[in-house]
Amino acid sequence: MNRKKIAVIFGTRPDTIKMAPIILELQKNAEYFDVLTIATAQHRQMLDQVLEVFKIKPNYDLDIMAPKQTLASLTAKIITGIDEVLEKEKPDMVLVQGDTSTTCIGSLAAFYRQIPVGHIEAGLRTNDKANPFPEEINRRITGCITDLHFAPTNTSRKSLLLENVDPKTIFVTGNTVVDALKYSVIEKYQFTIPILNEIADKKKKVVLVTMHRRENWGKPMEGAASAIKRLAQKFPDFRFIFPMHLNPIVREAVKPILKNMPNVFLIEPLDYLDFVNLMAKSYLILTDSGGVQEEGPHFGVPILVLRYVTERPDAVDYGTVKLVGLEEETIYTAALKLIEDEEEYKKMANAVNPYGDGLSSFRTIKIIKNYFGFSNEVVDEFIPR
Ligand code: UD1
Ligand code: UDP
């Protein structure tokens, strides 16, 4: 049999977490596929944390991260770095995930070499090019180039159809973020950070916070941080855990407002296992993260999303997630309502995950097998239950 070489490109924390189940599934299908892993290392420490958890040793590591680097410099380094690998390795297909610069420029590099592209997590749209920035456009550019669109939900499929994408190239697979969770959440988990074990042992209510989005840098982030400060003052018995993104711009916005609060823990990014196991034990999550929004519903933890628009409307429709924007007053009021109104809280704590059932990578690899003529199986689509 003529095995196919599949190049899998990733480089940041989220695209690597979501690509890991795809890599593992490709490796299980070694009689069909030779897997080539290419890390741009757009992130460094935050990428290495994930690689360690999933025991992935990239075949190529472009090591491009530089402090506070611009989008243009990132783009230039990714395209030249990946092109060199593609020229040497000549893969039969390139897989990219999501909406980062690694995703968009990785797909462009493949297009220039006329290599077919599979896009994992295709079709998420806000139709607002400023939100999320630059991810909305990154994802759309990737979509223009893509040959196989792996849409996590039917909503994403519909968005692709509205852009006249050939329906035969779209497959609703669910999101691999849920597959990753299945490797990672353990009932009696021991955290690597002692304070988290202490908080878990004392059964304190945990409010988990993350923020990093570019369009929220500066004033919007400060607004959200001020709301968290007020909540922490109002609920001294709650523990606010804020693993800060390594981007110095994020830290410059939140530290001056939240430092010195006895019940706010501004900590380093947690490794993925610590993070998801902490999510499982959280009472409430405040976040502008895409991935965290998709994971929260799995645990039935209500999420207030620190954004004005979302390309992930499914959980909002299911009622497990609420968009609250970045105004201090709106965030504070929405959180207060949830904390003080038990019925409202219960309504949101609904453990149906509209994003996946843990079988997304399995479906995806079957579809790729069909694409190369290795099989001709009907692949059942993901339907939320
Ligand atoms: C990137 C993605 C964004 C994704 C986010 C997930 C782009 C344009 N942005 O945003 O879509 O949601 O990752 O976290 O692709 N840094 C470190 N160490 C790290 C990681 C980052 O020091 O391990 C610092 C560096 O100063 C770096 C800066 O953070 O220059 C920004 O990193 P970058 O990848 O450009 O953007 P993010 O905001 O992380
Ligand atoms: N995450 C992590 N450690 C942290 C915060 C988040 O491992 O301290 C994981 C989280 O479980 C999710 C992903 O990182 O899978 C989300 O990444 P991020 O918020 O950086 O990016 P986005 O999803 O917004 O693109």
Would you state the pLDDT for residue 182?
A: 87
How many whole angstroms from 150 Cα to the centroid of ligand 1? 24
* 140 among known catalytic residues: no
pLDDT at 351 over 90: no
pLDDT at 201 over 90: no
The closest residue, in CA terms, to atom 4 on ligand 1 is 100
* 307 among known catalytic residues: no
Residues near ligand 1 (Cβ within 6 A): 12-14, 42-46, 65-69, 71, 74, 99-101, 134-135, 212, 214, 246-248
Mean pLDDT for the chain overall: 96
pLDDT tier at 188 (50, 70, 90 boundaries)? Answer: confident
pLDDT tier at 352 (50, 70, 90 boundaries)? Answer: confident
* 212 among known catalytic residues: yes
Taking Cα atoms as reference points, which of 385, 380, 373 lies closest to residue 172?
380
The closest residue, in CA terms, to atom 3 on ligand 2 is 270
How many whole angstroms from 216 Cα to the centroid of ligand 1? 14
Task: Locate 301 and state its tokens.
Answer: 């933890």
Judged by phi (left if over 0) then psi (alpha if -120 to 50, else beta), residue 149 lies in beta
User: Which residue among the candidates 15, 25, 121, 314 is catalytic per the annotation?
Assistant: 121
Rounded to 5 degrees, φ, ψ at 145 are -90, -25
pLDDT at 350 over 90: no
User: Which residue among the candidates 125, 212, 213, 298 is catalytic per the annotation?
Assistant: 212
How many whole angstroms from 385 Cα to the centroid of ligand 1? 34
- Asked if 254 and 276 touch (Cβ cutoff 8 Å), the reply is no
How many whole angstroms from 237 Cα to the centroid of ligand 2? 26
Closest ligand to residue 289's CA: 2
* 214 among known catalytic residues: yes
Would you state the pLDDT for residue 59?
A: 98
Residues near ligand 2 (Cβ within 6 A): 13-14, 17, 177, 210, 212, 243, 269-270, 272, 275-276, 289-292, 295
Average pLDDT over residues 111-120: 98
pLDDT at 8 over 80: yes
In single-letter form, the type of residue at position 138 comes to: N
Closest ligand to residue 100's CA: 1
How many whole angstroms from 11 Cα to the centroid of ligand 2? 13
Q: Which atom of ligand 1 is nearest to the CA of 134?
A: 8
Integer Cα distance of 298 and 344 in angstroms: 18
pLDDT tens for residues 359-378?
A: 999 999 999 999 999 999 99
Sign of the dihedral defined by the CA atoms of residues 321, 239, 339, 332, in that order? negative
**CA terminus-to-terminus distance, the chain:** 38
Name residue, tokens 């994971």: 295
Q: Which atom of ligand 2 is nearest to the CA of 98?
A: 25
Taking Cα atoms as reference points, which of 346, 353, 288 lies closest to residue 317?
353
pLDDT at 156 over 90: yes
pLDDT at 187 over 90: no
Would you state the pLDDT for residue 30?
A: 97
Would you state the pLDDT for residue 183?
A: 84
Would you state the pLDDT for residue 363?
A: 98
pLDDT tens for residues 325-341?
A: 999 999 999 999 999 99
Q: Is the pTM of this model over 0.95?
A: yes
User: Which residue among the candidates 15, 135, 222, 288 is catalytic per the annotation?
Assistant: 135
pLDDT tens for residues 270-307?
A: 999 999 999 999 999 999 999 999 999 999 999 999 99
How many whole angstroms from 194 Cα to the centroid of ligand 1? 27
Closest ligand to residue 274's CA: 2
Would you state the pLDDT for residue 385?
A: 85
3-class SS at 135? Answer: helix
Would you state the pLDDT for residue 1?
A: 72
pLDDT at 240 over 80: yes
Task: Locate 332 and state its tokens.
Answer: 């504070």
